[in-house]
Structure 1
Amino acid sequence: MTISLPQRWQFRQPSVIPGFGLALGVTLSWLVLIILIPLSGLAWRSSALGWSTFWTLATDQRTLNALKISFGTAFVAALANVVFGVLLAWVLVRYRFFGRRVIDAMVDLPFALPTAVAGIALTTLYAPNGWIGSLLTPLGIKVAFTPLGIVFALIFVGLPFVVRTVQPIMEEIDREVEEAAATLGATRFQTVSRVLLPGLAPAVLTGFALAFARGVGEYGSVIFIAGNLPYVSEIAPLLIVIRLEEFNYPAATAIAAVMLIISFVMLLVINSIQAWSRRRYGYGA
């Protein structure tokens, strides 16, 4: 009678690539030093406030309005970026025209351009006496120094996230799939809605989450065009800076902790979407 011994549990799968222990050690050390220690300090400082004090500071009316403006404008801007980002990616992938490479390079400009420069440029354009603002003011549309101006700034900084997330997936979709759908009698709308969009959905959702996360934490491009009016166009990151300048460290800590919690939830959602995408399309192990 042969007794089989239980297999030894392995921490990792065997790999032909050497240096796993060293690489893992460096990775964890860098993660702890750069990310975990600062965040742990914020969490410790927040816990030192006490629950009642923390709740009072976090639910202050000015704080709630700033959080509402930050997350509300970021959500609207992310939705707009999904629509126009997918359209822009579709044009860059499916069509060949003069200047396509220039437009493709311009998509990355918000990554390289300092956010303060973007904010000044947008304010110059959309101010009541600006090139575009002077045309909108007679129509009763005010962009600068309103939440609408914040949305415009966040659309500017968040568009590349959607385009660069969707574009590689769109390039992998074979044109023969569209031709087969047309051969079977599908209309253009049915081809887009039933053949193309389901495959692009994970990438679109990931791009939306990334643009939304960027919009929530954006500061430089927003403070110029927002006007920073309390209860009207004041964002949460700016309110944190104001509390620090007032030496009101407990209030700044409470606001930062709330944003940290929300950001962590958003990142968890992003990772879940990416994992679902890998499982659905067979990416990764």
Structure 2
Amino acid sequence: MSAIALPSRLSRWRRPLPGFGLSLGLGFAWLGIVVLLPLAALTLNAAGLGGAAWLRALHDPRMQAALKVSFGAASIAALLALLAGALLAWVLVRYRFPGRRLLDALVDLPFALPTAVAGIALTAIYAPNGWIGRWLEPLGLPVAYHFSGIVVALTFIGLPFTVRTMQPILETLGHEQEEAAASLGASRWTTLRRVILPEVLPAMLTGFSLAFARGLGEYGSVIFIAGNKPYLTEIAPLLITIRLEEYDYGGAIALAALLLAASFVCLLAINLIPLLFHHEREARHVA
């Protein structure tokens, strides 16, 4: 009797979430309200500016300087975060040492720490009278209130992206391929270049793209350490706020639309990188 009743009980079992159609509809509705609707509004406003407004915004020297600062600092910081993140991910995955769990938890600190708090802390450390700044300033290496300060802040923000992107790949890589390469007489550099690097390269490029996109739109951690000097250390997100305060809505919308386009390019690259490397591996196997 119990064996006959069991299937009927299972048939009456319900999933915690509603059916596929309702779940998909609720998910798309939430995504549309929170993400797509604001982006669509910005896109429509940018399309309605007209050619004259766009030309005026694009030829604005202050806007050009802010874009150069943001793109330049984000690129350098993403590269530094990639190098430091790759080494840190390698250490966390391949070695066991006291304090490893604490170090692994500290990697996520920039995610949990408010960006304004991070900016104030970095400024206090790298200011001319700070713990580190007092030693760098006499050497002619100022950080706070200079372009290098922006790079430091963006590196701090982007480091978790590179570490967390590469860490799972290194965990699944294992030691077998390295041991096989060593048994065949390959040097450490050859093993790194021919065995490890091809496997982790997609994750490295994805981490770089994530760190770059995050740094491009960063605001809170930068405005305190940058100095915010027009044409020198003024970032594009700050200039958007200034244009809004000046009631220059056209200039603010144009600058925001350019940053949005750059973010979409980074998002496209993040999604295309694994596909490209997957097709390349399939072509190698076929050959």
TM-score by length of 2: 0.89
Deviation, 1:280, is 6.3
Q: Which residue of 1 aligns with 2:37?
A: 37
Corresponding position: 1:276 with 2:268:
no
Judged with a 3 Å threshold, the aligned counterparts in structure 2 of structure 1 residues 135 and 97 are, in CA distance, closer, same or farther, namely same
Partner deviation per Cα, 1:197-216 (whole Å, 9 max, x = no partner): 10000000000000000000
Task: State the alpha-carbon separation in 2 of the partners of residues 273 and 26 from structure 1.
Answer: 30
Instruction: Provide the secondary structure at the position in 2 that maps to 1:49.
Output: coil
Consecutive unaligned residues of structure 1, counting only runs of 5 or more, are 1-16
Corresponding position: 1:200 with 2:200:
yes
Q: Which residue of 1 aligns with 2:285?
A: none
Q: Which residue of 2 aligns with 1:179?
A: 179
Q: Which residue of 1 aligns with 2:9?
A: none
Q: Which residue of 1 aligns with 2:83?
A: 83
Q: Percent identity?
A: 60
Deviation, 1:278, is 5.5
Task: State the alpha-carbon separation in 1 of the partners of residues 279 and 104 from structure 2.
Answer: 30
Judged with a 3 Å threshold, the aligned counterparts in structure 2 of structure 1 residues 46 and 18 are, in CA distance, closer, same or farther, namely closer
Read off the aligned partner of 1:67 and give its amino acid letter.
L
Task: State the alpha-carbon separation in 1 of the partners of residues 234 and 86 from structure 2.
Answer: 30
Deviation, 1:217, is 0.4
Partner deviation per Cα, 1:227-274 (whole Å, 9 max, x = no partner): 000000000000000111112111111111111111111111111113
Q: Which residue of 2 aligns with 1:254?
A: 254
Deviation, 1:79, is 0.5
User: Within 5 Å, which residues of 2 pair with 1:1-285?
Assistant: 19-277=19-277
Task: State the alpha-carbon separation in 2 of the partners of residues 245 and 184 from structure 1.
Answer: 66
The CA RMSD over aligned residues, in Å, is 1.7
Task: State the alpha-carbon separation in 1 of the partners of residues 270 and 140 from structure 2.
Answer: 39
1:133/1:143 contact within 8 Å kept? yes
Task: State the alpha-carbon separation in 1 of the partners of residues 200 and 69 from structure 2.
Answer: 30
Instruction: Provide the secondary structure at the position in 2 that maps to 1:233.
Output: coil
Judged with a 3 Å threshold, the aligned counterparts in structure 2 of structure 1 residues 34 and 280 are, in CA distance, closer, same or farther, namely farther
Instruction: Provide the secondary structure at the position in 1 that maps to 2:229.
Output: coil
Task: State the alpha-carbon separation in 1 of the partners of residues 52 and 60 from structure 2.
Answer: 12
Task: State the alpha-carbon separation in 1 of the partners of residues 276 and 26 from structure 2.
Answer: 28
Q: Which residue of 1 aligns with 2:7?
A: none
1:58/1:258 contact within 8 Å kept? no
Task: State the alpha-carbon separation in 1 of the partners of residues 166 and 279 from structure 2.
Answer: 17
